[in-house]
Amino acid sequence: MLQTLHIKNFALIEQLHIDFSGNFSIITGETGAGKSILLGALGLVLGNRADLTSLKDKEQKCVIEAHFRIADYDLVDFFKENDMDYDDVTIIRREILPSGKSRAFVNDTPTNLQELQQLGEYLLDIHSQQQTRELSDEAYQMQILDAVAGNAQLLLSYKKQNSEYKQALSQLKKLQDEKAALSKEQDYNAFLLQELVSANLKTGEQEELEQSLETLSNVEFIKESVAKALAVANDEQLGALQNLKEIKNALQKVSSLPGNYGGYYERISSLIIELDDVAESLSVDYEKLADDPAELERVNQKLQLIYNLQKKHQVATVQELVDIQIELEGKVSKVEGIDDAIKQAEDFVAKAKESTDGFAAQLHKKRQDAITLLTDKITAILSQLGMPNARFKFEVSSSENYYTNGKDQMSLLFSANKGTDFGLMKKVASGGEMSRIMLAVKAVLANYSKLPTIIFDEIDTGVSGEIAIKMGDVMKAMSHEMQVFAITHLPQIAAKGDNHFKVFKTTSNTTTVSELKLLDKEERVREIAEMLSGKDVSDSALNHARALLN
């Protein structure tokens, strides 16, 4: 429940500190006195956006602090999940700096607005006239039915499983799209791969073939040149070897004499050995030389194939062609293997769908079972509120669609009077009837939710007299289960409260401020009397006020 509210430098409020008790509290005041300012301040505590217009003094920061006693509302896990410090009396503080920057704290732990909004949903429900219009919204109608059906945990299980199902569908579609894209290129990739495989390419092969082509293309010229070289080297009369041997013999005779003759002798001997080895190797190579047109044609064709493939794939080496071949092998095998991945994904989707459908079916059954109970409870309260012939028709039907709250669709029809047909609530219910229906709904939900506090902001719109008294009785009964505030202009409702606060404005020469005051017994009598008769309070109005309070 809301225990304390402290407001500093917000709108028309300079400084306000107020303590609240449980049960049923009334807030009254003239139009424009500042009741909406209080709701705005609480809205900031619950995570609403803030701006500089909220500051009364633009040079000072605005501070709004609210204390909530939450020991009985099982929120420890929420605090752990959001890494916030838990306390049985939780303090939420919101600060708006003159720079426009906003900060939020929960038990002095900095927090963001999203976490603050999530926490606020567990702490406080501010019911406005706007929310009354939510009665016509299918999602809100389903929330009401789920609360009575006790579907909270089941909804969490459904949402988790539905999320897994959607992720599985997304993964399956991704694989299917990938297969479709690969399949379009499959035939061409397979053709390119086969072409490269047939070429039987090897790294370094191009250089070897180019050398072979050069040799085979010039074999006659090479043979002629080698033969001439061998003849010059090996001729018995004038050959180079024969002449070197003669030089060797001549130097041998003087090699032992002083001078460099011995060294010359050794060098000539080495030349003879080297030239003899060269001549022998040339002779061996000469024997291998042969005019082979078939081999020349084979080498030429293989090189031409390599050149064509390099041009086709826009590369310069055989190694790059080999790399492309490896890449194509991966693409082709991936298409062949993706079917297995799709089959596994389809199996997972089927299981996820089955599980999601199971939770949806459980939700549907529990909703169907709760319709009669919900209808009976709402109509019973509406009968007290002057609508004895009100009838509701909840129709829940299963669909093939997966919504965030199951697969059901809701249709809620309403009839206020005997003999009238059912129709859409927003079309057939008046403003006063809508207010009473919403109050009845909230009264029913008070028995099923653990919401600590609810604030009714002028829910009495369009009603008066005896109906207002009955509405006050309903809110009074709700306050036995939760903390209830009612902002009202009706004295019949104001008289039902356990505590009565008045919002009023005071004006000085320089400024206007809003204040909130807890009324004592006599002040409360006068306030209700003014609500009955205006500023000029008569004795009969005072007596009427005392009668209402009693």
pLDDT, position 130: 65
The answer on pLDDT for 336 being more than 70 is no
Q: How many residues does the chain have?
A: 550
Give me the mean pLDDT over the 343-366 stretch. Answer: 95
CB-based contact 494:488 (threshold 8 Å): yes
| C-alpha pair distances (Å), 158 with each of 148, 248, 354, 364 | 18, 106, 12, 12
What is the distance between the alpha carbons of residues 515 and 493, in angstroms, rounded to a whole number? 22
Give me the mean pLDDT over the 282-305 stretch. Answer: 80
Average pLDDT of every residue of the chain: 87
Strands 124-127 and 109-111: unpaired
CB-based contact 506:479 (threshold 8 Å): no
What is the distance between the alpha carbons of residues 234 and 228, in angstroms, rounded to a whole number? 10
Paired residues of 454 in beta bridges: 125, 484
Cβ neighbours of residue 334 closer than 8 Å, sequence gap 6 or more: 182
What is the distance between the alpha carbons of residues 94 and 210, in angstroms, rounded to a whole number? 82
Give me the mean pLDDT over the 402-426 stretch. Answer: 89
pLDDT, position 459: 82
The answer on pLDDT for 227 being more than 70 is yes
What is the distance between the alpha carbons of residues 357 and 151, in angstroms, rounded to a whole number? 15
pLDDT, position 129: 65
Q: Which two tokens stand for residue 166?
A: 């959607």
- Would you give the distance in Å from CA 82 to the centre of its chain? 16
Interval 506-522: pLDDT, tens: 887 778 888 899 999 99
The answer on pLDDT for 154 being more than 90 is yes
pLDDT, position 27: 94
The answer on pLDDT for 247 being more than 70 is yes
CA angle at residue 37 from 35 to 40, to 5 degrees? 120
The answer on pLDDT for 87 being more than 90 is yes
Interval 1-49: pLDDT, tens: 999 999 999 988 888 899 998 889 999 988 877 888 888 899 999 988 8
Percentage of the chain beyond pLDDT 70 is 98
pLDDT, position 239: 80
Nearest residue to 416 via CA among 401, 406, 428, 400: 428
Q: Which two tokens stand for residue 89?
A: 């009396």
Give me the mean pLDDT over the 473-492 stretch. Answer: 91
Domains and CATH numbers, the chain: 1-128+450-519 (3.40.50.300), 179-336 (no CATH)
pLDDT band at 59 (very low <50, low <70, confident <90, very high): confident
More confident residue, 56 or 332: 56
Give me the mean pLDDT over the 135-160 stretch. Answer: 90
Interval 385-407: pLDDT, tens: 889 999 998 889 999 999 999 99
Dihedral of CA 329/330/331/333: which sign? positive
CB-based contact 176:170 (threshold 8 Å): no
The answer on pLDDT for 248 being more than 90 is no
pLDDT, position 348: 95
Give me the mean pLDDT over the 153-181 stretch. Answer: 92
pLDDT, position 103: 92
Exposure string (b/e) for 137-160, b if CB count within 10 Å is 16 or more? eeebbbbbbbbbbebeebbebbee
27 membership: H or E segment, kind and range: strand 24-28
Q: Which amino acid is at 86?
A: Y
Give me the mean pLDDT over the 82-109 stretch. Answer: 91
More confident residue, 358 or 39: 358
